[in-house]
Amino acid sequence: MSVSLDLTGRHALVCGASRGIGHAAALAIGSLGARVTLLARSPNLLEETAAALSSDGVDADFVVADLDARDDLMGRVDAVLEERGPIHILVNNTGGPPSGRLLDASTDDLVVAFGRHVLAAHLLVQRVLPGMAEAGYGRIVNIVSISVREPIPNLGVSNTIRAAMAGWAKTLSRELPPGVTINNVLPGYTATSRLDELKHAISERTGQTAAEVEAGWTAHVPEGRIADPAELGAVIAFLVSPAASFVRGVSLPVDGGRLFCI
């Protein structure tokens, strides 16, 4: 059996693809030969990413949609299925919830985050699954967080929602048909606008400079640095490839060794 990363003939829908980890995932998946449909809210950034992919010879398009407006989202995904055919690869990814203590979060904060992460992913899986099952090939990757293993202080809503997402995905890994896998990627510190926002929020709260906050983070990472989003993209691309056919229901930290737990 040969090891294949070739995604020729496969169609990927990558959510939250306008920047950060989703953007890097779209580039990496495109580089393996898949057709890529990008999804996010900002048409300008999506257009730029689609143009970058196209200039590398990738069949790329985008759909402007908000994971918080799920009826509209489903209509737009139906249009993608109609125009660009079945989706074989789904990357569930979106912005992380704002920082703060869980005790200070309102129930609305929790409901919004649950909707954006779990409900949107659930609806998307239900919609794309028939095409995956028919093709005998499906790859679902959810971008979650290392907080699935170890809650992160002051990310109360995020910690709660990530655990829900992990339970949802593990359950589905037992229900999806053979050939259709679902896995979670757990990013550690990754250089994106999300991390910048968190860094400045901590800096304001603690009085540390942004550089001190970052040094405090990297001190706990055996690789001694923050990840480039492309390093996450590479792992996501592997998980959606034929080579990862027997990887199912895992939560894979991509954190430079930061987590202590096994």
Does the footprint of ligand NAD cover residue 240 (CB under 6 A)? no
Does the footprint of ligand NAD cover residue 149 (CB under 6 A)? no
Does the footprint of ligand NAD cover residue 70 (CB under 6 A)? no
Q: Contact 222/257 with Cβ under 8 angstroms?
A: yes
Tell me which stretch binds ligand NAD (CB under 6 A): 37-45, 105-113, 132-140, 203-211.
37-45
Tell me which stretch binds ligand NAD (CB under 6 A): 34-42, 82-90, 204-212, 246-254.
34-42
Out of 11, 14, 16, 77, the only residue in the binding site for ligand NAD (CB under 6 A) is 16
How far apart (Å, rounded) are the C-alpha atoms in residues 98 and 19? Answer: 17
**Nearer to ligand NAD among residue 43 and residue 177 (C-beta):** 43
Element (H, E) at 32: none
Residue 80 CA, distance from chain mean position: 19
- Put residue 6 in one of left, alpha, beta given phi > 0 → left and psi -120 to 50 → alpha: beta
Q: Note every long-range contact of 100-103, with CB atoms under 8 Å and residues 24 or more positions apart, other chains counting.
A: 100/154, 100/155, 100/156, 100/157, 101/154, 101/156, 102/156, 102/157, 102/159, 102/160, 103/156
**Nearer to ligand NAD among residue 138 and residue 233 (C-beta):** 233
Q: Mask: binding to ligand NAD, 82-121, rule CB under 6 A, as x and -? A: -----------xxxx-------------------x-----
Does the footprint of ligand NAD cover residue 194 (CB under 6 A)? yes
Residue 182 CA: distances (Å) to CA of 108, 230, 245? 28, 21, 10
Q: Mask: binding to ligand NAD, 155-184, rule CB under 6 A, as x and -? A: ------------------------------
Chain residues binding ligand NAD by CB under 6 A are 16-22, 40-42, 66-68, 93-96, 116, 143, 145, 187, 189-190, 192-195
